[in-house]
A and B are shown apart, each in its own frame.
Chain A
Amino acid sequence: MQFTNFEQFFAMGGYGAYVWSSFGITALLLIWNSGIAKYREFRMRREVKQWQLQEKDDSR
């Protein structure tokens, strides 16, 4: 362990703002990317299910 308390950990030896903004931006972009991919897949699968139901109705 390189830090003895939380303040030291957040300060990062004076580089805190640089280190945490880098990690924060990376986390944001990754979360946004996977979130949008997941949401698009969810929407597409819902549409496919709706088409399937419509076809069932049409064939009746």
Chain B
Amino acid sequence: MDEHLATFLRGAYEMEQAPIISFKHVSKVYSNGTVGLKDIDFSIPKGQFLVVVGLSGSGKSTLMRTINRMHEVTEGEVYVENEAVSAYKGRSLRTLRRRIGMIFQNFNLINRSSVEKNVLSGRVSYYPTWKSVMGLFSAEDKQKVVTSLNRVNMAEKIYARADELSGGQQQRVAIARTLMQDPKIILADEPIASLDPLTTKTVMDILKRLNQEDGLTVIVNLHSVELAREYADRIVGLRAGELVYDEPISAVTEADLNKIYQAI
């Protein structure tokens, strides 16, 4: 395809799809002088399945955490639904985070608690603190736990303790917890790095389904180039905190991706 035409079409597509997240010249320098991110500038349209690839330490996790303000940026601004995230504080920051689900490499469930309690904990930001602490959740929300668990095929484990589950099952529970937030965006930080190939497919399929059926914007950090090509709408690559690659899946070639992983 003519390169100019492709660029034009992509531009037109992105204009139609208002960006849900935009990075405007975002940089992050840690207090010890390490550069985490360097002038990141791109937008993510609503409903996209974006995969971020790059070596360990390339800034993938940091980039992801600037979206829900788990990490602060030192320069530039991140916009979520056209609002600058740096403006949020206290209660409003918590409602921002409520709209953004997050999934982790180590699942981060509360091991000694039941699956039900773990999933319910995804709903706490809809309640005042005292109600969360007393466990005064509404009947609808308790039903919502079952619905969420059903979506990840884990309903039969609702009363099991989280640490009795396998890694893949724990990650599915973590996704159910995220669904309790009614998020618009899902951030998944290396969600399959601790899983075997079969459970990897289950988890990635669930994320894809949430993207397609619910229209959630999904951002996944991955190490695996094959998985990135299989699931992504668009792939961006980071190297030493810099955005070095950004293509829609139709334009991605194996050679490009291998370049991202080459040593500097």
Interaction A to B: no
Q: Which residues of A contact B (CB under 8 A)?
A: none
